[in-house]
Amino acid sequence: MHESNRLKVAILGAGSWGIALGNHCQSIGHDVRLWEFDPVAARRLEQQRERPQVLKNIRIHDSINITNDLNASIKNAELILLVVPSHVCRSVLKQLTQSQIQSNAVIVNCAKGIEIETLKRISEIVEQELPSFTPRYAVLSGPSHAEEVAREIPTAVVVASTDELVGRFVQQSLNSFHFRIYRSRDVVGVELGGSLKNVIAIAAGICDGAGFGDNTKAALQPRGLAEMSRLGQKLGANPLTFAGLSGMGDLIVTCMSRHSRNRYLGEEIGKGKKLAHVLESMTMVAEGVRTSQAVVKLASREDVEMPISFQVFDILFKDKEPKQALHELFAREVKPEIW
Ligand SMILES: NC(=O)c1ccc[n+]([C@@H]2O[C@H](COP(=O)([O-])OP(=O)(O)OC[C@H]3O[C@@H](n4cnc5c(N)ncnc54)[C@H](O)[C@@H]3O)[C@@H](O)[C@H]2O)c1
């Protein structure tokens, strides 16, 4: 990389996705600082330079600076990647308001979720907490398991920003031969695609765990996509975005992959385990659980039918039997495929 293209990049969140993105940014020539909020975990990461509980056999590049000091991590940073679970994004953004964030920095949200209490997407939270960064906001999403990105397995994602120049800047800064980045202006669609698919991934896992078969699981994905884009359209997204990387692409990988925690969680539930028990056994966030709560509220508010997501919510939180949920889905009034 030419010295003039070298950026100071702050990665906020040193979980599996933060580490994978940190290594990626470093390997393409940027100067990376990785922030971990937990001081004990930060110290351990600094000493061991790996986090096998969330990302096995991946070493954090020696030149990445690991810190527990948020101010130090964002000092002079031109790109700030937000890579914490969605339910803590607001608290991290609030901390940024108290810190020395550079006014021309671009915030790139890499989390996938909707805030349950307010039903806000991350861009809307940025608008509330750091309004001057609204035009300097982008979201990065798509089929990108950290385990594969960290091994430089070819991956394609999409970056959306309402500002074309900001979108191009992020695209050109993070694109590489194994991490191909497409560009979009549809922030609403890209954010919703990445968030809503996690609920459908839980449904796919339930199918696997309960032994429903390939036909059932294959039916789930396009019908899941239909309800995702129905809500998206109501909220102002371009329905075509859901046919792209952050919609269909991410849905396919999350419903099929052994790396998907949401699919795994669903599989355990499908086998008859209780949600609390499954969550206890997981070290990493499964965003689909919280997102199912948000989706039920959001779809009710917007008066949009999302039958699969509602059934996932009932299975997770109301102890509904997966067989009963499937029966109710199939007993719905028959209708045209596209409505
Ligand atoms: N892992 C992936 O493959 C992947 C891919 C694409 C998107 N994502 C999304 O990225 C986000 C992060 O996922 P992850 O897999 O890295 O999660 P993770 O559970 O591996 O790590 C989360 C990180 O957030 C930190 N954290 C937890 N609570 C915090 C708080 N209160 N304040 C500040 N930091 C806190 C943790 O210490 C850790 O560093 C999620 O929204 C996820 O959906 C993950």
303-312 confidence digits (pLDDT tens): 999 999 999 9
Going by C-alpha positions, the residue among 36, 20, 25, 131 that lies closest to residue 78 is 25
pLDDT-derived band at 5, boundaries 50, 70, 90: confident
Residue 209 CB contacts under 8 Å (≥ 6 apart), including other chains:
266, 267, 268, 269, 270, 271, 272, 322
Cβ–ligand 1 distance for 36 under 6 Å, the answer: yes
pLDDT at 289 > cutoff 90: yes
- Mean pLDDT across the chain, nearest whole number? 97
Instruction: Give the architecture-level CATH label for domain 188-330.
Output: Orthogonal Bundle (1.10)
- Note the pLDDT tens digit of each residue in 199-247: 999 999 999 999 999 999 999 999 999 999 999 999 999 999 999 999 9
Specify whether 323 is catalytic: no
Instruction: Give the architecture-level CATH label for domain 3-185.
Output: 3-Layer(aba) Sandwich (3.40)
Q: Identify residue 171 by its one-letter amino acid code.
A: Q
Quote the CA–CA distance of 127 and 97 in Å, as a whole number: 12
3-state helix, strand, coil in the chain (%, to 5): 55, 10, 35
- Note the pLDDT tens digit of each residue in 136-149: 999 999 999 999 99
Distance from chain centroid for Cα 164: 22
Query: Which member of 8, 112, 120, 197 is catalytic?
Result: 197
- pLDDT for the residue numbered 85: 97
- Note the pLDDT tens digit of each residue in 12-65: 999 999 999 999 999 999 999 999 999 999 999 999 999 999 999 999 999 999
Locate the domains of the chain by residue range: 3-185, 188-330
Which atom in ligand 1 lies closest to the alpha carbon of residue 287?
A: 43
- pLDDT for the residue numbered 285: 82
pLDDT at 260 > cutoff 90: yes
Structure tokens at 29: 């020539």
pLDDT at 1 > cutoff 80: no
Quote the CA–CA distance of 12 and 89 in Å, as a whole number: 10
What is the DSSP annotation of 298-329? HHHHHT---HHHHHHHHHHHS---HHHHHHHH
Among 12, 84, 153, say which to mutate for ligand 1: greatest number of ligand atoms within 8 Å of CB. 84
pLDDT at 4 > cutoff 80: no
